[in-house]
Amino acid sequence: MPKLARLPISLGVGFVLACSVVLNFVAVIEKHLPLPLVWLLNLPGFVYCHYLRATEPLPIDDVPLFQAGQDVQCFFVGIALNVPYYTLLIYLGWWLVDKWKARNSPAVQQ
């Protein structure tokens, strides 16, 4: 398969994975995975949320509503950032498999 055709395929699969995270992570999967693995699977959102919470000062009034808004913002921005993140992971995984196959193929080893 041409390497240029792999990018839209990886993007499509990354989009599907990011959408499935919305459906599955909240309901079932997140409760059974170790927390560092959940952070790794959502690394861009995790970094964004920590940056958001560290840089925005808390308001004087209605702090719980402000924090709930931050949580919602983190959730949706995290999903949006997961699409290119998953695309990159899939594309790099595909590249590594190709390199591994090329290295172990009998035609290369003479």
User: Is 41 among the domain residues?
Assistant: yes
User: Is 31 among the domain residues?
Assistant: yes
Range of the domain at 78: 3-98
- Does residue 85 register a pLDDT over 70? yes
**Mean pLDDT of the region 66-94:** 88
**Mean pLDDT of the region 2-22:** 80
User: Is 108 among the domain residues?
Assistant: no
Distance CA 14, CA 108 (A): 32
The domain tally of the chain equals 1
User: Is 75 among the domain residues?
Assistant: yes
Cβ(99)–Cβ(29) under 8 Å?
no
- Does residue 31 register a pLDDT over 80? no
User: Is 104 among the domain residues?
Assistant: no
User: Is 86 among the domain residues?
Assistant: yes
Distance CA 10, CA 16 (A): 10
Neighbouring CB atoms inside 10 A of 12's CB total 13
In sequence order, which residues have a C-beta less than 8 Å from that of residue 15 and are 6 or more positions away? 83, 87
